[in-house]
Amino acid sequence: MTTEPISDSRPYSPGLKGVVAGETSLAFIDGDKGRLLYRGYPIGDLVEQGTYAQVAELLWTGEWSDQAHLACAALDRSVIEVLRQLPANANAMDALRTGVSAWGAISAVKYPPTVDQARALTAAAPSILAAFARLRDGHEPIEPDPSLDLAAGFLYQLSGERPDAASAKGLEAYFIVGAEHGFNASTFTARVITSTQSDMASAVGGAIGALKGPAHGGAPTEVVNQLHEMGSVDQAERWIRNTLDRKERLMGFGHRVYRAYDPRAAALRKVAEGLSSVSEWLKMAVAVEEIALRVLHEYKPDYPIMTNVEYYAAAVLQGVGLPPNLFPATFALARHAGWTAHCLEQAKADILIRPDVRYVGPAERSLPGVAAAR
């Protein structure tokens, strides 16, 4: 049997780079100028003057609420029992994903997504992660304090002690800058799942799975490891050059979208400077940043590689006392406001996301032995 080769001349963009796959009113990202706006408000202003609860309500409803308050939610005992069954060495992202799935099943969350569902899931997620963190360390979960905002409440449920104002503000800032960032991999995953008319818990569970990948959500942990490996500012330049000579990635620098300084990094650097618990570590981080930017420019003078959010996220998360193995899952807590807001927006669009694909396999052919028999 003779067949024509299969061809497809439609344009293809690997990784969907540059492809406009939807419309959103949630966030505007200007990578060339280093701007990030949530519904028109600059991220720096939101960090300085807002709270995570206010930002979440802004994303969910489009309105700014001075009275917005979002506290960690108490968990159904069945969710805690599911977490109790996980091994102590389980990845925290796996535990959060499992807890969200259990929460969705027990809460019987259904399509279409609602703002009330978004509030409930975003409030439950920190309690899920804190409960797992305590269980793996041999302690019982702590009931949430409804008087505390979400970030402070998460720290309280981890330790049983109310956090100081600087630590609470630091994590609150991190939650704000991490809340939303366009059609990144995990957010797009949430929108794809929502487009099938599946429920919000399923969409967020899928988003957590996408964020678990080190190419998306693991960088703050690697920044801490990187600085520890350098050991001192004196050793930094040699370490950086050796890393780049091996064609390895320098964590905390470069971004798929930003060609200017990441505005989230700028906002977090200001916050980190107010955390006395990381003052010496921060001094090293600032010095290393200056060296890294100089060396990166030397290696790639025609391709701007600037500091990204993960670099100073590492300083803030370490400063508020979180262990590095909770960094990626804490990023997931912050992103809940954005994920759920995208679920709401996608449901309103009510269209199945189903892109085409280019076939590059063999042309039509006969099974082995069939051609000979003919």
User: Among all residues, which ones are annotated catalytic?
Assistant: 255, 310
Tokens of 177: 């800058």
The structure tokens listed for 323 are: 């262990």
Sheet holding 35-38, edge to edge: 27-30, 35-38, 41-42
Residues 218/251, Cβ–Cβ less than 8 Å: no
Q: Is 349 left (phi over 0), alpha (psi -120 to 50) or beta?
A: alpha
Q: Tell me how many degrees the CA angle 121-122-127 measures, rounded to the nearest 5.
A: 85
First-to-last alpha carbon distance for the chain, in angstroms, is 9
* Length of the chain as a residue count: 374
Tokens of 140: 């019982």
- In angstroms, rounded to a whole number, what is the distance separating the alpha carbons of residues 173 and 239? 31
Reply yes or no: is the peptide bond before residue 146 cis, omega within 30 of 0.
Answer: no
Question: How far apart are alpha carbons 108 and 331 in whole angstroms?
Answer: 26
Contact 250, 240 (CB under 8 A): yes
Distance CA 198, CA 205 (A): 11
* 134 contacts: CB under 8 Å, gap ≥ 6: 140, 141, 142, 157, 158
Contacts of 141 (CB under 8 A, 6+ apart): 75, 80, 127, 130, 131, 134, 135, 157
Q: Which residues contact 294 (CB under 8 A, 6 or more apart)?
A: none
Alpha carbons 173 and 334: distance in angstroms, whole number = 10
